[in-house]
Chains A and B, each alone.
Chain A
Amino acid sequence: MSAGTQVRVRPTGYQVVRIGARGRFLLHRRSALVATSLVVLLAAVCVAYLCVGESFVAPGEVVKVVLGQPSPDELVVGTLRLPRMTVGLLVGAAFGIAGALIQTVARNPLASPDIIGISQGASALTVGAMTFGITSYTVLPYLSVLGGVAAAALVYVFAWRGGLHATRFVLIGIGFAIALRSVTTLFLTKGDYLVAQQAKIWMTGSLNGRGWAEAVPIGWTLLILLPAVLWAARAQRTVSMDDDTATALGVRLGRVRLGLVALGVVLASVATGTAGPVDFVALLAPQIARRMTRTAQIPLLCSALLGAVIVVFADLLARRLFSPTELPVGVLTAAVGAPYLIWLIIRGQGGGRGRSGGTA
C-alpha cells in the first residue's frame, strides 16, 4: 500500500538459494521435489533391472556388486547387466535433455530429434554404410553421430531466413525426416538381406550387446557438455518468450537458439549412435517432466532423469517380457511413457491447454 511495503514479491514457487558470497540461485521448489522423487524412482528401477533376468539376484547382492564388493553374482550383475543398464541410463538422459532443448527452441512439444530428422539422418548414413559393407561397430556410431548432426545442420540452414522461424524449423525438419526415411528404405531394399535384418534391429533402437565400450564415450560426452547444459537451463527461460520480448530483455536470440539446438543435436546424435534411434523418449520425457514440475519452461534435470527411467524400465521389460526372446528397447519406450503422458494430459493439470494467444 504505502511507500514502505512489507510484502516483497518473489517469483511464485521459487526459493532463493545462496551459495558463497555472491551466488544467488533461483530454485523451483516443486522441481526440486520432483527431481528428488525421480532419483529415488530411478534407483529403484535400476536395482530391479539388475535383480531381474535369466536368474534372479537378490537386491542385497546387487548392491554389493555395484559397490565393488566381492559377490558370487559378480559375472551376471557386474559384467552382463550393469554395463548395459549404464548405457540405457546415459542414452535415456541424453535423449531427455536433447528433447527438452529442441522442444524449447521450436516452441513445439512435437519437435523432438526423432521427428525433425536427426534420428533419420543418423539412420540413413548408418544403414547406408552397412549396405556398403561397413559393419564395424567401432565405426558405425561415429557415422550415426555425423548423420544426425549433418541432417540437423541442413534443417537449420533451410529454416533460416534472416532469423530462425520456429514453425519453419519444425516443418522443414519433418520434410527432411520423410525424405531421409525413404533413403533409408531404399538402402534396406537394395541391400543384402542379412544386412537389412541387422540394420532394422539397429533402427528400432536396441541395448542388446551394449556394454562399457559404448557407455564410456557417451558418459564422457555428457560430462564434457555438463557446463553447457547448466548454461542451457538458464538460457531456456528467456527463449520461451516471444522473439521481440526476449530481444528487448537483452537476449542474443540467434546465438542462444543456435547454442541450445546444437547442444540438443549433439546429445541426440550421440545417443542415437550408441543405441540407435530409441523412439519417443526425447518426445515424452520433457513433456511428462514439465507436467510434473508445472514450470513455465521444460525442466532439464527432470527430463534427463525421466528419460533415464523410461529407457531403463523399457529395457527391463524388453529383456523379460517375451523371454527368452529379447525385444529391441525402442519397441517399448513408447509403451512405457505414452500412457502416462496421455493420463497427465487428460487430467489436464499444469498446462497443455495450448497457448491462448498473447492477448484477446
Chain B
Amino acid sequence: MSSTPMSDATASAAEPDKAATAASAGRLTARELTLAYEDRTVVDALDLDVPDGRVTVIVGPNACGKSTTLRALGRLLKPRGGAVLLDGTELSKIPTRKIAQSIGLLPQTPVAPEAITVSDLVARGRQPHQHWWQQWSEEDERAVTDAMERTDITALGDRSVDELSGGQRQRVWIAMALAQETDLLLLDEPTTYLDIAHQVEVLDLVRRLTAAAADGTRGRTVVTVLHDLNQAARYADHLVAMKAGRIVAEGRPRDIVTAELVREVFGLEAVIVPCPVTGSPLVVPGAPWQAGPAS
C-alpha cells in the first residue's frame, strides 16, 4: 500500500520491466533491515517487498544471511537497525500472538515434544486462535482437518511423530503451519533432509498454497529459503538472490537468472538452459576437469 518511490526504485534497479510484481507491494516488507549476531553484522540495510499471493524464494551461498533474513521476517530475530513491517506496522510493535495470526513460520529443524501424536502436533498450530477457555472450536477442527488433508497425512493422525520417516515428518510440520491459517507462510529450507521425490512433493504443495481457492479467496503468500538454485528457479514467482547480507538481484527467475548472476552470487561458472519441463532457467555448472567444456 505504501509503495513509496524508494521501494519502487530498489525493485526496478534489479529488473526494469518487473515493476508490476514489485508495485503490488504486499503485507510484509523490510526496510533498511540490519541484522547482527553479537558483533557480526549478517544483513546490512536490506529492503525487501514480499509480493502477496506469490512464492518468494531467497537463494544465496552459505552464510549470506538468507535464513537470518527469514528469521527476522518472522520476528524470531530482533533487527539491529531498520524494521520489518506487517501492513505498515513494525513487527516489534505488534503483540507476538497477533503476528501469529498473520504469519506462520516453519524453522529449519523444529523439535516436537516427545511421543506426541501427529494430530496433536498439527492441532497445536491452532494455538494463536485459541483461548484458555476455548481450547477447541469448530473452526479449529476444520482447519486441522483441512491442513492434514492438503499434506496427505490424514491417515497418520494417530501415529507418534517420533516413528515417522523424514518426508512424513516434514509434511506433518507443514500441516501444523498450515493449520495456523495465516496469510503469510515462511519456510526455512523445507526440503533439507528429504530425498528428491519428497523435495518435489513438498515444493509442489507449497506452489499449490498460493493458488486461489475455489471459493475465490486469495492464495497464501509464501517466503522460503532454498539451497537448490534450480528448484528455486522452478518454483519461485519472485526470486531473491542474496550475497554477503545484501540483495544482488530480485525478480522473476527467467528474468534474473543468468550466467553472470550465478558467477556473481555463487562464484560458479555455469550454463543456463531453459528447463525442458517448465521452461524456467536451469543452471548447469561447468565442468572444469573436462578438456572441452560447453562454455
Contacts and interface: CB of A to CB of B under 8 A. Distances in A.
Interface residues of A, number: 43
A353 B111 contact: no
Given A238-B127, A247-B75, A13 B111 contact: no
Interface of B: 71, 74-76, 95-101, 103-107, 109-125, 127-128, 132-137, 141-142, 144-145, 148-149, 154, 157-158, 162, 166, 169-170, 177, 180, 192-193, 214
A245 B144 contact: no
A29 interface: no
A16 B109 contact: no
B158 A244 contact: no
A25 B100 contact: no
Closest CB pairs A-B (n = 3)? A250-B100, A296-B116, A250-B97
A231 B132 CA distance: 8
A10 B104 CA distance: 21
A111 to B, nearest CB: 15
B120 A9 contact: no
A240 B107 CA distance: 15
A12 B158 contact: yes
A26 B135 contact: yes
Interface in A292-333: 294, 296-297
Contact of B148 (A9, A234, A240): A9
A251 B76 CA distance: 11
Contacts of B158: 12
B124 A5 contact: no
The A interface is mostly helix, strand or loop, or mixed, namely loop
Given A240-B113, A356-B162, 18 more contacts: A9-B154, A10-B136, A10-B144, A11-B117, A11-B123, A11-B144, A14-B136, A26-B135, A245-B105, A248-B100, A248-B103, A249-B128, A250-B127, A296-B113, A350-B115, A355-B111, A358-B109, A358-B111
B198 to A, nearest CB: 11
Given A242-B107, A242-B111, A296-B114, A9 B141 contact: yes
A12 B158 CA distance: 6
A8 interface: yes
A244 B233 CA distance: 28
A22 B134 CA distance: 7
A264 B8 CA distance: 53
Nearest to A19: B133
Contact of A248 (B74, B95, B109): B74
